[in-house]
Amino acid sequence: MPRPIKITRLAVTHYAWEIHDLGREERLGFDAVYRPGARSPAGGSILTIETDAGVKGEVPGAVDARAAQYLLGRNPLERDVIWHDLKRSQRGSINAPPGAVDIALWDFAGKLYGAPIHELLGGWRMKLPCYASTYHGDENGGLTRPEDYAEFALYCRQELGYPAFKIHGWIGGPIDREVAAVLAIRKAVGDGMALMLDPAGAFNTFDDVLRVGRACDEARYFWYEDAFRGGGFSLYAHAKLREFVKTPLLMGEHIRGLEAKADTITARATDYVRANAGIDGGITGVMKIAALAEAHGLDVELHGPGLAHRHCMAALRNSNWFELGLVHPKITNNRAPIYPDKRWLDLLDSVDDHGCVDVPAGPGLGVDLDWDFINRHKTGVTVYE
């Protein structure tokens, strides 16, 4: 039986911030792309879970009122019970417990025990190789031509040490330009860099998907991700694509729930298994998905950056790359500085000379939040008690 500790109060602190030279892509208006002079809101929130042990969990993210009411009075050490209860509460929507809650409970536990989360997970590697993961292509002189991607990949390799590079290409074509970019990048960087392509569901036809996939084959890409306009949900479509394209597939970043992830594997729809602590049930959820992948001889690839992913990946044998993104040659400073040291902010230059990020050594998530910055940009606090 865990020691008797109770959650006494939850707070969500909201803050505002802006990214410069980032706007909306012109054709559909959803995706963020380079746009000189534009500004994009990039605020966020911090979830604080307080306990009667005098130790708190504190992480980027939020909680809704229903989950907060459930958590008040519960024992924060009973993570697995909480995980399953909150998962059930989300069965009609994301089918996973709110990631921030689980991560905050791990942060609390680490601080209670005086140990970093990676140590509680049995982690051993403290340097994580990264891929520079680009913003989508734009028409504004940033990532506009195939050679822009090629030059940026070469810069990431030669100047920053990145061992890998992932393109998010253009929204809405033309497909010839996408094919040219796939080939131009390989030509520029040679064989010493792993390359990935993520159209993020931007292609229109099966023929588009095939043409780009065949270019990935020719240029020996590491994976081909979420190519179908359907958004990466169809197991059938991906299993069929495998009949035509040799490059390993990665799909499932929009598929929620451990059971549905299992189906992506058994349907042979994916070669790498996607997991995201923020939306797949926190650190507990990521480690479950990683074990699921392990049981099938597959690797798990974490979607997006963040401290929680650094701790998980430190403890995962079957994971290849840390996704550092999104990045762009002309957009710098695209993360709210909620940590004082840029090493933890997942910026383009947060990597060491070998293109790796570090795993924090402090208790819990291991890096103190910069509350001076957060309080200066605070727009409100929601409290549950």
Which residue has the CB atom at the shortest distance from Mg ion?
A: 198
Could you say which residues in the range 30-89 bind Mg ion, by CB under 5 A?
none
Stretch (H or E) spanning 105: helix 99-113
In the complex, least distance from residue 225 CB atom to Mg ion, rounded to whole angstroms: 5
Angle at 139 between CA 195 and CA 176, to 5 degrees: 55
Q: Is 198 in the site for Mg ion (CB under 5 A)?
A: yes
Peptide bond just before 326 cis, omega within 30 deg: yes
Residues 6+ apart with CB under 8 A from 351: 130, 160, 161, 162, 324, 357
Nearer to Mg ion, 45 or 264 (CB): 264
The piece of 175-183, 192-200, 359-367, 376-384 that touches Mg ion (CB under 5 A) is 192-200
Q: Work out how close the CB of 33 gets to Mg ion at its nearest, in angstroms, rounded to a whole number.
A: 16
Q: Which is nearer to Mg ion, 67 or 312 (CB)?
A: 312
C-alpha torsion sign, points 244, 250, 253, 259: positive
Pairing of strands 18-24, 378-384: unpaired
* One character per residue 247-266, x = contact with Mg ion (rule: CB under 5 A): ------x-------------
**Contacting range for Mg ion; rule: CB under 5 A; set: 27-35, 80-88, 190-198, 346-354:** 190-198
Residue 254 Cβ vs Mg ion, minimum distance, rounded to whole Å: 9
Quick one: 312 or 338, whose CB is closer to Mg ion?
A: 312
Instruction: In angstroms, give the least distance from the CB of 285 to Mg ion.
Output: 18
* 102 interacts with Mg ion by CB under 5 A: no
Dihedral angle over CA of 136, 139, 140, 145, nearest 10: 80
Query: What's 170's DSSP letter?
Result: -
Cβ–Cβ < 8 Å for 100, 59: yes
By CB under 5 A, residue 323 contacts Mg ion: no
User: Minimum distance between the CB of residue 383 and Mg ion, rounded to whole angstroms?
Assistant: 35
* Contact by Cβ (8 Å): 348, 332: yes
CB of 337 to Mg ion, least distance (A): 25
Element (H, E) at 106: helix 99-113
Q: Which is nearer to Mg ion, 106 or 228 (CB)?
A: 228
Which residues of the shown chain bind Mg ion in the complex (CB under 5 A)?
198, 253
